[in-house]
Chains A and B, each alone.
Chain A
């Protein structure tokens, strides 16, 4: 019936984040009713990549849409890259934005791997986003993300 007007504080916070240089990543990852955890994921990513703006491309996540058991959820991350001496992925970092702590794993690699790829199993507490950040040899940063619904959480045992 009425028009939805965003809360003024949220508008100001979004502008602040944009001006502070965190970039479009922040605006699209933080939902309107932002909670602490997605911010800590962004902070963790920011600490890793500094002031670089990640491009959302080239990083593919293979992750089920619904996990019955959050205690062990397979994840594959594949990054498009020739993996040559001149142009390769140096590292892939995996984060989540709904777990008690955002970091999952960091993999350091190079041309000797032939493929920028990792396959692991995650613990997920609840429905959330999994984010993979790839650092390239030329300094560029790419990311990919996927939302996953978790029916039974898996952090507390």
Chain B
């Protein structure tokens, strides 16, 4: 079952000039269950449930691909840099252990 409240959040600078190297910050709400935590009441292990892949596509080209493991903390934060080329879509995708993919799309406005 896909989670409903993953709430992906993305931040880029308001003004971006062509050729500029700018930082992209991302955050999603996800428990990132490691598979090692035990339920206090039952003593049973909570099964692993993590986001295992994070991709970013800028104007149709994959610019970041990340593979995540259970050692990533809950509500995973990730930031990286991009070279500003043309204005256009920036699409973020998070794929979890159940192969559900959550996406967020923003538009980058590049000046110059």
Contacts and interface: CB of A to CB of B under 8 A. Distances in A.
Given A103-B71, A119-B79, A155-B36, 6 more contacts: A108-B65, A108-B66, A112-B61, A113-B63, A117-B80, A121-B77
B67 interface: yes
Interface of B: 21, 32, 34, 36-38, 46, 58, 61, 63-83, 85
Given A105-B68, A108-B66, A115-B21, A123 B81 contact: no
Given A105-B66, A157-B37, A113 B73 contact: no
A101 B68 CA distance: 12
Contacts, number: 101
* Contact size range, A: 20 to 34
A30 interface: no
A105 B80 contact: no
Nearest to B22: A114
Interface in A72-111: 72-74, 96, 99-101, 103-111
Contact of B78 (A109, A118, A154): A118
27 contacts: A72-B73, A72-B75, A99-B71, A101-B71, A104-B71, A106-B66, A107-B65, A109-B63, A111-B83, A112-B61, A112-B83, A113-B63, A113-B81, A113-B83, A114-B82, A115-B81, A119-B78, A119-B79, A120-B77, A120-B78, A121-B73, A121-B77, A123-B74, A124-B71, A155-B34, A156-B38, A157-B46
A96 B65 contact: no
Contacts of B63: 109-110, 112-113
Nearest to B66: A107
Contact of B64 (A107, A119, A121): A107
Nearest to B40: A157
Contacts of A118: 66, 78-80
